[in-house]
């Protein structure tokens, strides 16, 4: 079974820093419940992150709204869909809410995306699956 390293960063200009960080922290226990997930936690602010548009703001020792985990391919797809249903589906019409995702494949190749809706995430997931099929 192939495990992928994943960083998911949540962004919403309408939320205060503390609200964004609290939202990310509240997702952690739920993410630990997914079968095949390891090492769930907030992203330390000293960890290099290559997601386009990632905020450099930090809350203490963590990058705001950013979660890291390791999981099996099927689990990663399920988690991205699960977060999308909780984060992007409930944004207001004029909101700039988005998910920034970085997935590191087993050979070290990184795939990144910014998603504003379910279609963006579907295209990203297909890109990851194609890269895995080639590898």
Task: Please give the mean pLDDT across all residues of the chain.
Answer: 82
Q: Which of 9, 94, 115, 91 is nearest to 58 (CA)?
A: 9
pLDDT for 10-55, tens place per residue? 888 888 888 988 999 999 999 999 998 988 999 887 666 655 555 4
Instruction: Give 118's pLDDT tier (boundaries 50, 70, 90).
Output: confident
| pTM confidence score | 0.84
Residue partners of 60: CB distance under 8 A and separation at least 6: none
Question: What's the confidence (pLDDT) of residue 129?
Answer: 84
pLDDT for 84-116, tens place per residue? 888 887 666 667 888 889 999 888 889 988 888
Torsion of CA 74, 79, 84, 85, to 10 degrees: 100
Q: Residues 50-69: what's their mean pLDDT?
A: 65
Assess whether pLDDT exceeds 60 at residue 80.
yes
User: What fold does the segment set 3-134 form as a domain?
Assistant: Alpha-Beta Plaits (3.30.70)
């Amino acid at each position: 079974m192939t495990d992928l390293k994943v960083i998911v960063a949540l962004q919403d200009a309408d939320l205060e820093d503390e609200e964004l960080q609290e939202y990310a922290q509240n997702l952690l226990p739920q993410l630990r419940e997914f079968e095949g997930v390891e090492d769930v936690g907030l992203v330390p602010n000293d960890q290099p992150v290559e997601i386009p548009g990632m905020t450099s703001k930090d809350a203490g020792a963590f990058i705001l709204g950013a979660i890291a985990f390791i999981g099996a391919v099927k689990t990663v797809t399920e988690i991205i869909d699960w977060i999308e249903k909780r984060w992007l589906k409930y944004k207001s019409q004029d909101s700039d809410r988005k998910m920034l995702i970085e997935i590191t494949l087993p050979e070290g190749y990184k795939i990144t995306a910014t998603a504003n809706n379910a279609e963006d995430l579907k295209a990203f997931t297909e890109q990851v699956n194609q890269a895995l099929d080639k590898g």
